Structure 1
Amino acid sequence: MTGLERALHHLARLSAYLSGLLILSAALVTILDVVMRSVINRPFFGANDIVLYLLTIGVVGFFPLMVDSAHHIKIEVLGSRLGRRGVRLVEGFANLVTLLVLAGFTWQFLLRGNRLASFGDASQILQLPVAPMWWIGAGFMALAVVIQAVMVVTGHSQRVPVGQTLDEYERRR
């Protein structure tokens, strides 16, 4: 594994940890809102806006790890019939298609963020601008694109499983 691949691997894991914290925070805000409604008969002002931000960024933030660990949907029907070379060709094509789809998502996230910024769109209650949410999502998607691009260029389709550290993975190879 090259230095670039190691750095991208660590960035993917870091984005997943951050995303996990964001999703946990969204759950806590939701629980606090429910408790406040039940106990003091008042909602947590702006809870929906906060949860929208936290969940949107939190879910998209897992994409780099998904790509880095190859936990995306993979269909391996033809593997035994194509032979080793055929499998490599199919994997290379699938990796290229995945790269193009992720790049398309990134582009659309940026366009959406720019469009929302030009209109000055904001959340309903707290009036938070929504464009930054899309730009942050585009940043996470761009990291996934870079990871996938390295996979396409190097031809390395075997990735570090989520349950293993980088050192464990390299010792087993």
Structure 2
Amino acid sequence: MAQGKIERGLTAAGTLALLALMLIVFIDVLGRNLFNSPLLWGTELAEVMLALMVFALYPVLARRGGHIVVDLIPVARAARTAQRVLSGVVGALLFGLLTWCCGRQALRSAEFGDASALLGIPTAWVLWCMAGLAALSALIFVAHALGVWREEASPTGLGG
């Protein structure tokens, strides 16, 4: 199924970004402490990897219902349905706002030709990726609100 492949791809991208982020920071710290010479482009690449990791994993967490849920008051089944719809709507609105903000910044960045200082990475590309992944997250929250996907009960009681 296509959504399974997309989910695996996003998970792999987020995982690889985390691995790259760990290696960059490790090499940077090692260089600073042992050779008094930090990785010159380490901060720039770490920022890009952090953005990729976070935004690639948002849709996966939204799809799996992996956000933290705390039940303070036991409620009836109908109220749980209302909670699911409300959380889907709030999630969709927040990620819609993120999409709009990132898209607006991407347009500005592209207009001015912004790029990172050392590596010359066009910031518009990074912002467009962030906007696209935030939009995907918003759509997934809408699907949850509409009941397209049933949230699975977490064995720990923390998720879904």
TM-score with structure 2 setting the length:
0.81
Q: How does 1:1-173 map to 2 (within 5 A)?
A: 7-80=2-75, 83-159=76-152
CA shift, 1:62, in A, is 0.9
Q: Which moved more, 1:40-49 or 1:111-120?
A: 40-49
CA shift, 1:155, in A, is 4.8
Q: Secondary structure at the match of 1:154?
A: coil
Mark the CA change 1:87 to 1:79 in structure 2 (over 3 Å): closer, same or farther. Answer: farther
Q: Which consecutive aligned stretches of 4+ in structure 1 deviate over 4 angstroms post-superposition?
A: 38-41
Cα distance in 2, alignment partners of residues 77 and 152 from structure 1: 21
Unpaired runs of at least 5, structure 2: 155-160
Mark the CA change 1:34 to 1:87 in structure 2 (over 3 Å): closer, same or farther. Answer: closer
* % identical aligned pairs: 23
Q: Which moved more, 1:55-64 or 1:142-151?
A: 142-151
Task: Return the letter of the residue paired with 1:69.
Answer: R
Q: Which moved more, 1:61-70 or 1:140-149?
A: 140-149
CA shift, 1:40, in A, is 4.6
CA shift, 1:53, in A, is 0.8
Mark the CA change 1:97 to 1:43 in structure 2 (over 3 Å): closer, same or farther. Answer: closer
* RMSD of aligned residue pairs (Cα, Å): 2.3
Number of matched pairs:
154
CA shift, 1:39, in A, is 4.7
CA shift, 1:54, in A, is 0.9
CA contact (8 A) 2:99 2:131 kept: yes
Q: Which moved more, 1:89-98 or 1:148-157?
A: 148-157
Q: Secondary structure at the match of 2:65?
A: coil
Task: Return the letter of the residue paired with 1:147.
Answer: I
Task: Return the letter of the residue paired with 2:66.
Answer: H
CA offset digits 1:105-148 (Å, max 9, x no partner): 11211111111222222223223221211111112212212222
Mark the CA change 1:19 to 1:133 in structure 2 (over 3 Å): closer, same or farther. Answer: same
CA shift, 1:38, in A, is 4.4
Task: Return the letter of the residue paired with 2:147.
Answer: T
